[in-house]
Amino acid sequence: MQTQLYTEIRDLIKTIPGIKTVKRWKNQLENPDTINALPAVYIEFPNIQYETMTRNVQESVNVPFVLHLVVEKYNSDSDSEDERIYELSQAIYKKLQLAKPLSRQYEVLDTAPEKVEDFRLGYLIDRVEDCEAQATPGSASRPTFEPETEFE
């Protein structure tokens, strides 16, 4: 399920003019050499809780994900540079609404990294369903009970 979500989100964001890199979040800010062309969007899926609905189907409600919109830190008084990050954030939100019902939860700007700014955009997808959670019914390895002694 995460593969499908990741690729849908990635492919939508790649169509936004001005975004140069879209990849999975791997704590890139800890090692600035891993940061590609900017502006970049890194996709992070925190913990996802699943509920088994039937033998083949699992679903998750309120699936969280975070987009790290990483831009170069400018040392200028230019309003256009300041506005650019918010314009990109809004463009991302508009694109994501095309894919799945979701809600924007928060936006947090982290200016602590030395050369970049990390604008974290938190979202919740209302509901996702995995209809191939167990592709062959009954194929999952389940513990079986085999008594060591027979009861009379």
* Domains defined for the chain, CATH in brackets: 2-130 (3.30.2000)
Give the pLDDT score at 7. 92
Give the pLDDT score at 151. 46
Per-residue pLDDT of the chain (152 residues; tens, 9 = 90+): 678 889 999 999 999 999 999 999 999 988 877 787 999 999 999 888 888 888 788 888 888 999 999 998 877 666 667 788 999 999 999 999 887 788 999 999 998 888 889 999 999 988 888 777 665 554 444 434 344 445 44
User: Which regions of 5-115 does DSSP assign to beta strands (E)?
Assistant: 21-24, 40-44, 51-52, 58-72, 102-110
Give the pLDDT score at 79. 66
Backbone angles phi, psi at 32, to 5 degrees: -55, -20
